[in-house]
């Protein structure tokens, strides 16, 4: 079933400024919003329509230890990364990006095959032989090329608002193990805070063909491999590389000269931290130049603006949202910067290893940093949570680096992206005001 959402319609309880626990995440051509009772994701398809799926925000009661300060940050971050990853994969399906990639791969293979057939003096094929119902050379040609279809679809997606189709395919079966007592986000996430428990509803996901299941399995496998490689890359860039750079380029100059009179552990941690932040900023700036990543960062900006508009107590209209700033203190980017700064402080307690081999010393130091990561995550979560509820001079000063970094991780959205964010947030605002902090 489908229904049209009026983008200009006011949301319930919007009459004064508030602080909300609602958080979100930018997806591929869409946005996920998470409220205390309902989670929703709205994705714009290649046809220009907004497809919305929503499900109860399932909150299984964790063990008591995961509710303690510091520990709750670890629990929240793990659950948030899990739901964020699944929504990201689902958005790729809804937006048509997966199908587009498959079609482009099919065209590439067909072009290669026809090139080979041309050398052998054979007629070109209109589709691959292994495809069901493959056409012979005498069959009618496609009415339009894939490139033309993709171009038209992209233009339609950028032209403006489309219809919203709630619950087009239920995600409960996919998200049945989701749990959160206070979520963390990734770089494109506003961190959601604790909400009221919601009873999990039993649902059955629609059955798919064996061929579709096989395709999804391959996609999931590739995504899992990508996640593992991403973790390895993160450890290399932000833990091992700064340690190695300091040891091989700066150690002699810093410890034997400009900072000889200061404690070595503090000096080393400070310089490694500066290198780590520089690498992080350079990495974010580089990926923001990629077209697809830039569009995701634009949706990230739309997410922040919409949350701000709701917190200001204004009607959720495109005009109102457009006027809001795109830098939010509860953003996952701010969380990352806070973690990097905390890493400098905690790293100053790691002793300098002198086991003869510099490579072994660097490895041991990197292992110690990994061991301190849970503490860093826990402390960072507590700060972000506090910053989301308070607005004073100290919070503004400590939040400034993260807000500055959002100039890279968020971009100004267009109206179609704002409409997508409004559609998602409307689905998760509770009528009883249980999202208020």
139-to-115, 125, 127, 129 alpha-carbon distances in Å: 19, 9, 10, 13
pLDDT higher than 60, residue 417: yes
Report the alpha-carbon distance of residue 93 to residue 43 in Å, rounded: 10
| pLDDT (0 to 100) of residue 399 | 87
Q: Where are the beta strands (DSSP E) in 344-389?
A: none
**E-assigned strand segments in 148-295:** 164-166, 189-190
**Where is 54: in which H helix or E strand?**
strand 50-56
**pLDDT of res. 145:** 41
**Contact by Cβ (8 Å): 329, 388:** yes
Task: Report helix, strand or coil for 27.
Answer: strand
Identify the residue with better confidence: 129 or 14.
129
Helices marked H in 121-209: 146-158
pLDDT(304) > 80: yes
Residues facing 164 on adjacent strands: 50
pLDDT at 363 over 50: yes
Largest CA distance in the chain: 84
Q: What is the pLDDT of residue 188?
A: 54
pLDDT given for residue 216 in this prediction: 56
Report the range of poorest mean pLDDT among 122-126, 196-200, 368-372.
196-200
The mean of the pLDDT values for the chain is: 77
Which of 210-214, 250-254, 297-301 is the most confident on average? 297-301
Top pLDDT among 150 and 31 is at 31
Calculate mean pLDDT across residues 293-303. Answer: 95
pLDDT band at 219 (very low <50, low <70, confident <90, very high): low
Of the ranges 127-141, 224-238, 325-339, which one carries the lowest mean pLDDT score?
A: 127-141
CA distance 424 to 24: 9
**Residue 433: how many CB atoms within 10 A of its CB?**
12
State residue 309's pLDDT score. Answer: 96
Res 192: pLDDT: 58
Among candidate residues 354, 345, 390, 409, the one with its CA nearest the CA of residue 372: 345
Q: What is the pLDDT of residues 323-354, one digit of tens each?
A: 999 998 888 888 899 999 999 999 888 887 87
Other Cβ atoms within 10 Å of 214 Cβ, number: 11
pLDDT given for residue 135 in this prediction: 46
Whole-prediction pTM: 0.72
32-64 pLDDT tens trace: 999 999 999 999 998 899 999 999 987 677 788
Q: Which residue has the tokens 């591929």?
A: 28
Q: Are 405 and 337 in contact (CB under 8 A)?
A: yes
Higher pLDDT, 187 or 235: 235
pLDDT band (50, 70, 90) for residue 226: confident
pLDDT given at position 160? 39
**Where is average pLDDT lowest: 28-42, 152-166, 210-224?**
152-166
Share of the chain above pLDDT 90, in %: 31
The span from the CA of 309 to the CA of 321, in Å, is 6
End-to-end CA distance of the chain: 34
**Pairing relation of β-strands 50-56 and 164-166?**
parallel
* Ranges 102-106, 174-178, 229-233, 292-296, most confident: 292-296
| Strand order across the 23-27 sheet | 164-166, 50-56, 38-44, 30-34, 23-27, 189-190
The two structure tokens encoding residue 107 = 């065209």
CA distance 96 to 94: 5
Question: Given this model, what pLDDT does residue 318 score?
Answer: 96
Tens of pLDDT, residue by residue over 263-274, are 778 888 888 999
């Amino acid at each position: 079933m489908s229904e049209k959402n009026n983008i200009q319609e006011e949301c319930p309880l919007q009459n004064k400024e508030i602080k909300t626990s609602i958080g979100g995440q930018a997806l591929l051509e869409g946005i996920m919003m998470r409220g205390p009772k309902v989670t929703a994701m709205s994705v714009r398809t290649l046809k220009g329509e907004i497809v919305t799926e929503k499900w109860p925000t399932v909150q299984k009661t964790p063990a008591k230890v995961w509710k303690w300060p510091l520990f709750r940050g670890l629990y929240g971050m793990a659950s948030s990364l899990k739901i964020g990853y699944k929504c990201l994969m689902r958005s790729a399906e809804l937006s048509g990006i997966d199908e587009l990639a498959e079609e482009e791969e099919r065209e590439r293979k067909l072009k290669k095959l026809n090139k080979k057939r041309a050398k052998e003096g054979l007629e070109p094929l209109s589709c691959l032989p292994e495809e069901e119902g493959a056409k012979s050379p005498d069959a009618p040609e496609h009415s339009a090329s894939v490139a033309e279809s993709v171009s038209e679809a992209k233009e339609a997606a950028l032209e403006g608002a489309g219809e919203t189709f709630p619950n087009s395919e239920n995600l409960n079966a996919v998200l049945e193990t989701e749990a959160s007592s206070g979520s963390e986000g990734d770089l494109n996430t506003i961190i959601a805070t604790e909400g009221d428990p919601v009873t999990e509803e039993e649902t059955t996901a629609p059955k798919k063909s064996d061929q579709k299941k096989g395709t999804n399995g391959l996609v999931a496998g590739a995504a899992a491999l990508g996640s593992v490689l991403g973790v390895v890359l993160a450890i290399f860039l932000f833990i091992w590389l700064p340690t190695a750079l300091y040891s091989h380029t700066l150690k002699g100059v810093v410890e034997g000269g400009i900072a000889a009179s200061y404690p070595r552990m503090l000096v080393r941690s400070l310089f490694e931290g500066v290198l780590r932040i520089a690498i992080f900023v350079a990495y974010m700036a580089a990926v923001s130049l990629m077209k697809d990543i830039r569009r995701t960062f634009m949706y990230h900006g739309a997410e922040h603006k919409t949350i701000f508009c709701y917190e200001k107590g204004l009607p959720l209209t495109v005009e109102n949202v457009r006027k809001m700033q795109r830098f939010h203190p509860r953003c996952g980017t701010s969380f990352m910067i806070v973690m990097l700064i905390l890493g400098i402080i905690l790293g100053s307690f790691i002793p300098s290893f002198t086991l003869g081999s510099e490579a072994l010393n660097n490895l041991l130091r990197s292992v110690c940093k990994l061991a301190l990561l849970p503490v860093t995550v826990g402390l960072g979560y507590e700060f972000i949570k506090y910053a989301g509820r308070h607005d004073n001079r100290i919070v503004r000063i400590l939040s400034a680096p993260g807000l500055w970094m959002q100039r890279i991780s968020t971009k100004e959205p267009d109206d179609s992206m704002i409409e997508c964010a409004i559609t998602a947030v409307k689905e998760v605002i509770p009528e009883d005001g249980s999202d208020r902090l």
